[in-house]
Each structure stands twice: as structure tokens, then as C-alpha cells.
Amino acid sequence: MNIAFVLINTDMGSEAEVSKALREIEEVKDVYGVYGVYDLVVRLEAESMQQLKDAIGNKIRRLKNVRSTLTMIVIE
């Protein structure tokens, strides 16, 4: 299993909307709103690195109101 964490900053005031959209992505397993530098912590799982890449690059990063992302690939 390929796992990644994505730390997300959203546009101000759109955390709930982005969380909802994230939860509809198949590879997204957990979404947490957090206090601090980042707004959301997202955990993803995928069958392959290719699928993980696709979920981050083509799904998460293209969501409306996602301002920036910091991706951390989990070391197997």
C-alpha cells in the first residue's frame, strides 16, 4: 500500500467546503481540520505510486479553494 500525507492551506473561510470535497476522493482516507500553520491534514492510500500521484496532482491540487499543499510520501 502506498500512503501519503498532504498538509493543506485553504482559502480563508472555506475549510468545511474543501474538507467535504476531499472526502469524496477515493484515495482520501482521513481528513482533519487542525490549528496551526496548516489548515487540513489529509491521509491518502493507493494501490500504486502512480495512483497516489494522480490523486494528489489531478484531484486534490485541482480542488477549488485549495491554496497550497505540502505532500509527505510515507516511507514503506
What gap in Å lies between CA 75 and CA 16, rounded to an integer?
Answer: 30
Pick from 20, 23, 29, 67: which binds its own copies (CB under 8 A)?
A: 67
Pick from 1, 9, 22, 44: which binds its own copies (CB under 8 A)?
A: 9
What gap in Å lies between CA 50 and CA 2, rounded to an integer?
Answer: 9
Where do we find the cell 500504486?
Answer: 48
20 binds its own copies (CB under 8 A): no
Pick from 26, 29, 47, 50: which binds its own copies (CB under 8 A)?
A: 50
57 binds its own copies (CB under 8 A): yes
**Distance set, CA 7 to CA 10, 23, 41, 54 (Å):** 10, 15, 5, 17
Binding residues (CB under 8 A) for its own copies: these are 3-5, 9, 12-13, 15, 32-38, 41, 49-50, 53, 56-58, 61-63, 66-76
